[in-house]
Amino acid sequence: MSALRLKKREERRIQSGHGWVFSNEIDTTLTPLKGLEPGSPVTIETANGKFVAHAYVNPASLISARVTSRRSNEPFNATVIRARLQHALDLRDSRYAEPWYRWVHSEGDFLPGLTVDRYGSVLVVQITTAGMEMFKDAIIDALQSLSQATAIYLRNDSSVRELEQLPQYREWAFGEAVDVLQICENNLQFEVPAELGQKTGWFYDHRDSRTELAHWVKDKKVLDVYTYLGAFGLNAAAFGASHVTAIDSSKSAVEAANANATLNDLQDKFTAQCADAVEAMRSLFEEGERFDVVVLDPPAFIKRRKDRDQGLRHYGLNNRLAMRLLNPGGVIVSASCSQALSHDDLLQQMRLGTPKTSTGLQILSTLRQGADHPVHVSMPETLYLTGAVGRVI
């Protein structure tokens, strides 16, 4: 096994628990990265040669190595992967009575580069690193054995794979192909077209946020912006909203959302329409439409640090347009899945978006990702979802 020796004092962050080793932290004169096979196992050493961690390497990536173990006698292999998959499964089974959840949350479950979502007996898997790609067959075998899955879908078309110089592809790695994934949430049935799904299909991370709606939507007129498959809006309708208008720019997503409404006999209280979110909010305002609750759950506007300033402007614009659509005393549910946007950043954009003619904005509740998205205490990157429920007076 090759060794990567760190520059002097660069081991401190890794020893404190962080799992990423950057190329500028490695003494490439003593231990060149060039020539190492992407995904191959390495040991990380201090400047004087002491063991720090096991990792896998990718010379082509800014994150040149990802830590897999801090025990010298525990190199990364199929046995370790299976044990960590079992630990992750035990956590979910202790928290959720039914098999609809994120089974593996990458570094949050000490399996960097691996995401697994469970839809009953069907699993959707995303591998984003060369190190995990090398263990693809072992991962599929372990997942099937531990869950008795009837089908496993590899959704390896993430743009992150380009940074690892990996090909993008989708394939059914086990079992027969399934056209529609099915889940149950808050006694609602949802169908997720397997080929339509964004990322791994369903946004389990917001399950607690959707449950939170029960406190605010009864007998209220609701606007659900960026609805995708209708998750927030249909939960609102089921919790007693008088009517829900849902917006999404994807025609296929809108069709699926309306189909989910019919599936749950909520079609009389829920209407999804295809439109650009910003333009739709502007049009609704000009038409004099007002709502008691607006749900604002946009895609990540900040994907990279360099996008931060532009992303902040997008969050600010969306919150401003959403809040001016509220009736007096109306509630906004505002969220962000941009890891580079902190909770304080989001509150600042909500504050800036508060109508100047209002008395002010009250924060009623804080939102965060569900328990099936555990946070690695030394890696703030694993805490990416934030949100707040506010009331405009």
Helix (H, G, I), strand (E, B), or coil: what is residue 381? Answer: helix
What pLDDT, on the 0 to 100 scale, is given for residue 92?
Answer: 98
What pLDDT, on the 0 to 100 scale, is given for residue 1?
Answer: 83
Q: Which residues on neighbouring strands pair with residue 221, listed in sequence order?
A: 243
**2.30.130.10, 3.90.550.10, 3.30.930.10, 3.40.630.10: which CATH number matches 2-69?**
2.30.130.10
Residues of the chain with pLDDT under 70: 196-200
**3.30.750.80, 3.40.50.20, 3.40.140.10, 3.40.50.300: which CATH number matches 78-178?**
3.30.750.80
What pLDDT, on the 0 to 100 scale, is given for residue 159?
Answer: 87
Residue positions counted in the chain? 393
What pLDDT, on the 0 to 100 scale, is given for residue 217?
Answer: 98
Helix (H, G, I), strand (E, B), or coil: what is residue 87? Answer: helix
Name the region of 234 (left: φ>0; alpha: ψ -120 to 50; beta: rest): alpha
pLDDT for 334-391, tens place per residue? 999 999 999 999 999 999 999 999 999 999 999 999 999 999 999 999 999 999 999 9
Taking the C-alpha atoms of residue 81 and residue 76, their distance in angstroms, rounded to an integer, is 7
Buried b (16+ CB within 10 A) or exposed e, 249-279: ebeebbbbbbbbbebbebeebbbbeebebbe
Buried b (16+ CB within 10 A) or exposed e, 285-324: eeeeebbbbbbbbbebbbeeeeebeebbebbbbbbbbbbb
CATH top class, domain 191-392: alpha beta
Q: Show Cβ contacts of residue 371 under 8 Å, excluding neighbours closer than 6 positions.
A: 91, 95, 208
What pLDDT, on the 0 to 100 scale, is given for residue 128?
Answer: 96
Assess contact for 56 and 68: CB atoms under 8 A.
Answer: yes
pLDDT for 37-75, tens place per residue? 999 999 999 999 999 999 999 999 989 999 999 999 999
What pLDDT, on the 0 to 100 scale, is given for residue 175?
Answer: 97
Sequence spans of domains, the chain: 2-69, 78-178, 191-392
Q: Which of 65, 48, 53, 41 is nearest to 15 (CA)?
A: 53
